[in-house]
Structures are given as structure tokens and as C-alpha cells.
Amino acid sequence: MRTQVCIIGGGPSGLLLAQLLHMKGVETVVLERQTRDYVLQRIRAGVLEWGSVAMMEEAGLGERMHREGFVHTGTYLSAQNRGFRIDFDGLIGKKVMVYGQTEVTRDLYTARDAMGGLIVHEAAGVQPHDLQTDAPYVTYTRDGTEHRIDCDFVVGCDGFHGVSRKSIPDTVLRTYERVYPFGWLGVLSETPPVDHELIYANHERGFALCSMRNDHLSRYYVQAPVDDPIEKWTDDAFWDELRRRIPAEAAERLITGPSIEKSIAPLRSFVAEPMRWGRLFLVGDAAHIVPPTGAKGLNLAFSDVHYLSRALIARFIEGEDEGIDRYSETALARVWKATRFSWWMTTMLHRFPDQTAFDQRIQETELAYLESSVAAQTALAENYVGLPF
Ligand code: FAD
Ligand code: DHB
């Protein structure tokens, strides 16, 4: 089979890229290792920057998002059980959309189906070849049969553990990494959210976050040791811990119920450079990981798609190579800013095992400064709602 762009990975970045290219007449094939149900059942990100909202609209997917999503004009931070609000709208006239990654992915699948685009699910042993030539190709196995897709470009949208980044030789690839000494224990529960906005809480027992998916579905997280056995965290243990870490008035309002999903995720900052090697481009988690504290992972994947979709369209429609030649540099400049912001939010809000009394005072002062300074709040707001593309 032949196509123009072979996309490895059918997560949100691969599907959005496929949709935007298809709308401009560029042919794509998407190869996904998992089944569609598996991809749709992954509970991940919850907050879209306004630039990501605009990209969903551009892809023709604004309707359900605007009907079912929740626009947030600010967020709460709390320290020592006392909250204060960062007013995005009041400070910089911007907002974010609470619309889960599960819904984003579902909308993207529906759109791909509607246009008859090909997604090969359960593609095993996916392997790109000849990426330094003008005739790259990708092989994979499905139902015991080997297949080959010839293409002009290969795009790696296959997440942190995918095959694409590993295709770049060690002599070329530079990686930068910080692994944080804790994880996030996340719970999804069919209960009304404790507040109509998010609460990010710094507490001496560790970080906590109150988020949501809709009026009847809450998403909560507490900082926890990454190797804690999940059985240790009964629902009661989770709710007790969450109550302790959030402002007292929120704890009193908290409605609890059975968890319908519970898992512990590790926290890591990771950037791989460059994001292009010959005919291969890396997009999203395949190239970079941020800790979830700033709600940037999915949004960063979308900003890569923004740059790469325009670059590939210019290449195929106008024969213009500048965008693809500059993709790595342009995408990385924004990636590093989001990496810095996510690291800063993580450092400010979590309890580190080796935190000294000095570190503790600095963290408290950072939060006190943020509460008192419009300039500091403005800096948080402009990063949280998303820096311009
Ligand atoms: P992915 O969503 O990882 O998609 C990659 C796709 O490629 C997958 O479908 C995978 O099955 C497929 N694939 C992998 N390898 C291969 C292969 N060899 N061949 C073919 N297909 C392959 N971000 C937030 O902002 N907030 C959160 O709360 C949050 N929670 C998260 C929780 C977890 C457990 C994880 C792992 C991530 C979380 N993230 C969160 C990050 C966010 O979900 C990601 O940044 C986002 O999914 C990136 O999208 P992507 O399309 O680049 O990668
Ligand atoms: C959610 C996750 C985040 O990492 C975050 O910063 C905000 C919200 C969520 O899953 O709802």
C-alpha cells in the first residue's frame, strides 16, 4: 500500500494530525498497536488550553465539545488548607475547557470514520525503514500477515514507549530527563465534583488535585509513593487522605462514592531532541513527557500537531519545505516552555522526600508571593491557559 503520510500511533495526536491533513487533501494511514476500545478506555488528561479548543474546532469537532465541555475562567490553589483563586479571565482575558481526553479521542475516531480514513488497529511489530532516504516505508504484522506501507513521511505519534523515537540513532538523539520521587494516585468517581473549578492543593502530607469530567463525574488525585500497591488504597483510605489535604470548607462539602477507576501514575519530565530525523517526525509523548501538574501533556501534543500539520500541508500543497525544515526547532521552543512550567508547578506544589527546612520555607514563600502578586498570578495564568503557538 502507498500513502503520503504514515502515522504511527492512534492516540489523540495521531488522530488529530490525520484529520487536519485529510481536510486539506493529504492522504494518511494510521497504525495503532491496540484495539479501539482499549484506546478509548484510557482515562488521562482533562483540561484543554484555548489553542487546543481552536484546533478541535478547526478539525470540525467543536460542536459536542462546546455543548458538553465546561469553560473554566480560573482555578484555585491552596496552601495550608486555605485557598486563593487565579482568575485567568480577569488577569489576561483567557480561559480553558474541561473536556476529557477520552471524549477528545472519541470525537476524533468518529470524524475519521465519517471521512472513511484508514486506522489499522492491532498492528504488531510496527517498524519504520529507510528514514534517511526519499522513499521511507513502514512494516507491520496483522493477523499473522506482514504488511508494508510506502510513504513520503513517517510521523511518530506513538507515545513514550513507542518505536519511533527508538529509530533515531543514539549518536543523533539527545535526551533530557527528571524523574520525580513520587506518583499520582488518581480516582474517577460518579459523584458531583467538590467545586465548579479545579483545586490544586499543597499540603504537608503531599499534593492533591480536585478535578472533574462533568456534573456527575469527579476526578481526584493525591500524591503517593509510586510503588505503593494499589490494594493499599481502599476507597475509604483515598477519601480520607484527600479530605485532609484540601481546604477545610471543601473537605466538608466533598461527596464520596465508589471509585470506578483507580491507578498510580509516575511523574517525569523528558525531552528528546531533535524532533525530526530525515523523513521521520516525532509528535507528542513520543518526544516529550511532562508531569501532569500543569495539565500540559495533551495540550503539548496538540501544539506539535499544529506546527507539523501546517508544515506538511505547505509541503504537499505548495511544495514549500521551510515549515518541515524548521519543525523541530519551532516545536521544541514551545515544548521547553511547557516543560519549565510543569516542573515549576510540580516543585511548588509537592512534598519531596528530601525536602529540607529551607526548601520548605522557599515553597511556602513561593505560594505566599503568588497569592499577593498580580504579576506572579499573571505569569501562572498565561502559562496555564497556554502560550501562543
Ligand atoms: P498517546 O496518547 O500515548 O498515544 C500513543 C498511541 O500510540 C497509543 O494509542 C499507543 O497504543 C500507540 N502506540 C504505542 N506504541 C506503538 C507502536 N509501536 N505501534 C503502533 N502504535 C503504538 N496529561 C494531562 O495533561 N493530564 C493528565 O491527567 C494526564 N494523565 C495521564 C495519565 C497517564 C497514565 C498517562 C500515560 C498520561 C497522562 N497524561 C496526562 C498525558 C497525556 O495523556 C498525554 O500527553 C497524551 O496522551 C499524549 O498524546 P499522544 O497522542 O502523543 O500519545
Ligand atoms: C486533570 C489532570 C491534570 O494533570 C491537571 O493538571 C488538571 C486536571 C484531570 O485529569 O482532570
Digit-coded pLDDT (tens) for 73-92: 999 999 987 899 999 999 99
Is residue 12 annotated as a catalytic residue, yes or no? no
Residues 319-328 pLDDT 10s: 999 999 999 9
Closest C-alpha among 203, 259, 272, 254 to residue 233: 259
Residue 120 amino acid letter: V
Considering 76, 99, 137, 200, which one is annotated as catalytic?
A: 200
- Report, as an integer, the average pLDDT of 90-100: 97
Residue 53 amino acid letter: V
Q: Kindly report the CA angle at 127 between 125 and 128, in degrees rounded to 5?
A: 165
Q: State the CATH class of domain 181-266+351-384.
A: alpha beta
Cβ count near 163 (within 10 Å): 19
Q: Kindly report the CA angle at 269 between 265 and 272, in degrees rounded to 5?
A: 125
Is the predicted pLDDT of residue 386 greater than 90, yes or no? yes
What are the residue boundaries of the structural domains of the chain, listed by start?
5-70+99-177+268-346, 181-266+351-384
Average pLDDT score over the chain: 97
Q: Is 74 in the pocket of ligand 2 (CB under 6 A)?
A: no
Q: Is 210 in the pocket of ligand 1 (CB under 6 A)?
A: no
Q: Is 162 in the pocket of ligand 1 (CB under 6 A)?
A: yes
Distance 326 CA to ligand 1 centre (A): 25
CATH entry, 5-70+99-177+268-346, from 3.30.70.270, 3.50.50.60, 3.40.50.2000, 3.40.50.880: 3.50.50.60
Residue nearest to atom 11 of ligand 2 (CA): 46
Is the predicted pLDDT of residue 266 greater than 90, yes or no? yes
Residues 352-382 pLDDT 10s: 999 999 999 999 999 999 999 999 999 999 9
- Report, as an integer, the average pLDDT of 21-38: 96
Cβ count near 65 (within 10 Å): 18
pTM, rounded to two decimals: 0.97
Considering 296, 306, 307, 350, which one is annotated as catalytic?
A: 296
Cβ count near 371 (within 10 Å): 16
Kindly give, in sequence order, each residue whose CB lies less than 8 Å from that of residue 67, ignoring residues fewer than 6 positions away.
none
Q: Is 387 in the pocket of ligand 1 (CB under 6 A)?
A: no
What is the pLDDT, as a whole number, of residue 43?
86
Distance 34 CA to ligand 2 centre (A): 24
Is residue 140 annotated as a catalytic residue, yes or no? no
Is the predicted pLDDT of residue 285 greater than 90, yes or no? yes
- Report, as an integer, the average pLDDT of 179-199: 97
Alpha carbon distance 224, 112 (integer Å)? 38
Is residue 369 annotated as a catalytic residue, yes or no? no
What is the pLDDT, as a whole number, of residue 81?
79
Model ipTM value: 0.96
Distance 220 CA to ligand 2 centre (A): 8
Q: Is 33 in the pocket of ligand 1 (CB under 6 A)?
A: yes
Distance 200 CA to ligand 1 centre (A): 23
Alpha carbon distance 264, 196 (integer Å)? 25
Scanning the chain, the segments in alpha helix (DSSP H) are 12-23, 36-41, 50-58, 62-68, 88-92, 101-114, 235-245, 248-253, 297-313, 322-349, 357-372, 374-384
